[in-house]
Amino acid sequence: MTFDDGPDRINTPKILDILRDEQVVATFFVLGEKVERYPEVTQRIFQEGHLLANHSRTHADFAELSNEEILFLELEPTSAAVERLTGYYPRIMRPPYGSLRQDSVVFLRESGWQIVRWSLDTFDWDSTRNSPEEIIERVKTQHHNKAVVLMHCNGPATIQALPGIIKVLRGLGYEFVPVNQL
């Protein structure tokens, strides 16, 4: 399970409570601006054993940035902010929107970054079209071996669907690990 676009002070703590209660470890792809705004939530993610990974500083579309801008304006400041709070410098990243040119893929890999996308999008970010029940049903019908499930830290539909998603995936025999263990 992966969670993008956090941390925030309302939804992320609720997600963390559910993960703690269900004894699930996840990966949080965090935004640098929000890491700086909500340091205590970032520290909680780390202290509770979840993997912190990089989702950029500002959620910019990387396809519109030079490779140097991606690295020096978006990725490095975010990982440095995480490191100041936790002592851990994330080298795993997910581009916002999954948007990344092929030359950027090569550049980032050569610069030591691991790029992680997703294989099952819950579409939880759009609560106008996706009820918690529809999100759970999407996971039921689209699950597959070693799925990287994409969710977000930005809405009540995620919080309402998360216990059901965990129950469904556990019932199917899934184990929950951070992306660096896949």
Burial of 123 (0-12, 13-18, 19+ CB in 10 A): middle
Q: pLDDT tens digits for 144-173?
A: 999 999 999 988 999 999 999 999 999 999
pLDDT (0 to 100) of residue 129: 76
Enumerate residues 6+ apart whose C-beta is below 8 A from 90: 52, 53, 54, 78, 79, 82
Q: Which residues are catalytic?
A: 4, 152
How many structural domains does the chain have?
A: 1
Say what the alpha-carbon torsion angle 60, 63, 64, 67 is, to the nearest 10 degrees. Answer: 90
* CA 159 – CA 44 distance, rounded (Å): 17
Q: Say yes or no to pLDDT of 130 above 90.
A: no
pLDDT digits (tens, 9 = 90+) for 37-74: 999 999 999 999 999 999 999 999 999 999 999 999 99
Stronger pLDDT, 182 or 4, i.e. the higher one: 4
Smallest CA-to-CA distance from 23 within 143, 162, 156, 176 is with 176
What angle in degrees, to the nearest 10, is found between the helix axes of 11-22 and 156-171?
A: 20
Rounded Cα gap, residues 30 and 74, in angstroms? 11
Task: Flag whether the pTM goes above 0.95.
Answer: yes
CATH code, 137: 3.20.20.370
User: Residue 13 is part of which domain span?
Assistant: 2-181
